[in-house]
Amino acid sequence: MIKHLGSGMIAALGAVALAVPLWADPAQRVVSVGGAVTEIVYALGEEGRLVARDTTSNFPAAAEALPDVGYIRALSPEGVLSVAPDLILSEEGAGPPEAVELLKAAAIPFAEVPDGFTRDAVLAKITAVGDALAVPEKAAALAEKVGAELDAAVAGVVPSGKKVLFILSMQDGRILASGTGTSADGIIRLAGAENAVTAFEGYKPLTDEAVTEAQPDVILMMDREGDHAAANAQLLAHPAISTTPAAANQAIVRMDGMLLLGFSIRTPEAVRDLAAALNGTGGH
């Protein structure tokens, strides 16, 4: 086991993001950070090795029974260390940086799974998780299966050509929307539509003028608990959104956040569901 390695080697292992396992025996006490990673662990049949997960790891439902070590970008080092892991398996971008540094300094192997919002990125995630868990054959089989499912889903898309505005949040009426280079942008494109905002990368606040100029045909949001009818009415009444074709056609699509944006084993389902929803809305 890892505890038999010298302290210098353990520190070295803990100081790098591991692409493949460098320790002698496969880890048996794994903390999974990131919903996409956790979904893959379950799909590989290796969930018995999980001892904790982060807040975004809510699928499958069984994962929610595991101890929660915090949101992926607001991890609790104390929470992670309290479950005595011998591997932290994390999506790229976990944080805050000081928390990750503390965990690496604790000499726990830290395997970072690359992010990405394409077909190839999904397969790369599966491969990376399989390598970290020392089950590359299982990962190869899963990647082949998911790749075929995703190819079939994309091939079955009837492009709507609609301009879609993905809104991450609307706190105090301020619209935080997706530009390019995001998971929202990636799934919109795979589903045969266009991102209504291409002037910037990442998620940024939009001015009312920018919303009006974008003229989205559809508003896309994560599905959160609550009264959707009331929420939609409030959304469509927003001064800027009310000027768009999306408001004229009351075209709002809501989907489960991890399904929509996870880029993991359920992405074929997300492509099919989003394409069907977009083609079922008003507009073009």
Q: What is the CATH number of the domain that holds 45?
A: 3.40.50.1980
Say whether both 94 and 224 belong to one domain: no
* Residue 157 falls inside a structural domain: no
pLDDT tens per residue, range 119-143? 999 999 999 999 999 999 999 999 9
Say whether both 170 and 143 belong to one domain: no
Say whether both 14 and 58 belong to one domain: yes
* Residue 13 falls inside a structural domain: yes
Say whether both 119 and 59 belong to one domain: yes
Contacts of 90 (CB under 8 A, 6+ apart): 32, 33, 34, 37, 72, 110, 111, 112, 113
pLDDT of residue 224: 76
Say whether both 146 and 168 belong to one domain: no
How far is it, in rounded angstroms, from Cα 253 to Cα 3? 50
Residue 15 pLDDT greater than 60, yes or no: no
* Residue 284 falls inside a structural domain: no
Is the bond preceding 109 in cis, omega lying within 30 degrees of 0? no
Domain count, the chain: 2
Say whether both 209 and 235 belong to one domain: yes
* Residue 77 falls inside a structural domain: yes
- Where in the sequence is the domain holding 30, given as residue range(s)? 2-150
Say whether both 145 and 187 belong to one domain: no
Please state the pTM of the whole predicted model. 0.87
